[in-house]
Amino acid sequence: MKILVAVKRVVDYNVKVRPKSDGTDVDIANVKMSINPFCEIAVEEAVRLKEKGVATEIIAISMGPKQAQEQVRTALALGADRGILVESDEDLQPLAIAKMLKAIVEKESPDLVILGKQAIDGDNNQTGQMLGALTSMPQGTFASEVNVADGRVSVTREIDGGLQTVNLSLPAIVTTDLRLNEPRYASLPNIMKAKRKPMDTFTPEDLGVDATPRVKTLSVEPPAERKAGIKVADVAELVDKLKNEAKVI
């Protein structure tokens, strides 16, 4: 069984991103970039399926600027077998990403495509679902448990009220939630080995996809500031403030 994993290069989750002062864009010059945390979980899940003998090959794919090859290398160091970089300096939006992934799916015919549920920069939570629509594959989104058996995959999903389990025919799409697994760290020898693993590079044109953004960002601004609060001395003062000042209890 072949697994395709999509990994996005994003601003590290510890960085507090701010808009540029002219409000045209976010200021991400010189900030730490990482693999999107949900994508790390996607890679880990694929690697575990391979370790269990369910999967035979893992292909990691990233789309973005040339530097996104670092995230492909990270995935290779974590256990993916080969990499694909689709290089583009466009603002790549989920529909375009899904179209390019579809082109790769047609070339590679994977049995499972694992994506993160959400990229923590754009917070879109769309790409996996869109890829499902374009390929007619079923989708197990927000997965906290994945079991492959008898040509099908059973996915436990985190939904608003609790958990839901669906059973999907293969090939299928899974998008990962945080509790699916705890990703390992890449060991130094594996990081060295990853440098020798194959990586193909394409452009959106090679894949026949028009990646022009459909949604334009007109401006960005910081969220409304909260006014500074106070410290209360004890529980009695807290209860008094809540009753008589804020009037919320």
Ligand X SMILES: Nc1ncnc2c1ncn2[C@@H]1O[C@H](COP(=O)(O)O)[C@@H](O)[C@H]1O
Interface contacts to ligand FAD, rule CB under 6 A: 13, 37, 120, 178
Tokens read off for 98: 């899904």
Site string for another protein, 78-97 (x = CB under 8 A): ---------------xxxx-
Q: Tell the smallest beta-carbon distance from residue 21 to another protein (Å).
A: 13
- Please, which residues bridge with residue 62 across strands? 85
Which H/E stretch holds residue 48? helix 37-51
E strand spans, 138-191: 139-149, 152-159, 162-169, 172-176
Instruction: Please work out, in degrees rounded to the nearest 5, the angle formed at the alpha carbon of residue 215 by the alpha carbons of 209 and 218.
Output: 140
Task: Give which of ligand FAD, ligand X, another protein, none residue 34 binds (C-beta under 5 to 8 Å, depending on kind).
Answer: none
Which one of residues 70, 154, 183, 200 is an interface residue with another protein (CB under 8 A)?
A: 154
Phi-psi region of 91 (alpha: psi -120 to 50; beta: other; left: phi over 0): beta
In degrees rounded to 5, what are phi and psi of residue 105? Answer: -60, -40
Our CB check for ligand X shows the closer of 125 and 190 to be: 125
Our CB check for ligand X shows the closer of 19 and 65 to be: 65
Tokens read off for 158: 């985190």
Q: Tell the smallest beta-carbon distance from residue 115 to ligand X (Å).
A: 3
Tokens read off for 62: 């990233």
Tokens read off for 192: 């060295």
Task: Give which of ligand FAD, ligand X, another protein, none residue 229 binds (C-beta under 5 to 8 Å, depending on kind).
Answer: another protein
Which one of residues 66, 133, 187, 205 is an interface residue with another protein (CB under 8 A)?
A: 133
Task: Give which of ligand FAD, another protein, ligand X, none residue 109 binds (C-beta under 5 to 8 Å, depending on kind).
Answer: none
**51: contact with another protein by CB under 8 A:** no
Phi-psi region of 57 (alpha: psi -120 to 50; beta: other; left: phi over 0): beta
Which stretches of the chain bind ligand X, using CB under 6 A?
A: 6-8, 36, 38-39, 42, 62-64, 92, 94, 97, 115-116, 118-119, 122, 124-128
Q: Tell the smallest beta-carbon distance from residue 29 to another protein (Å).
A: 15
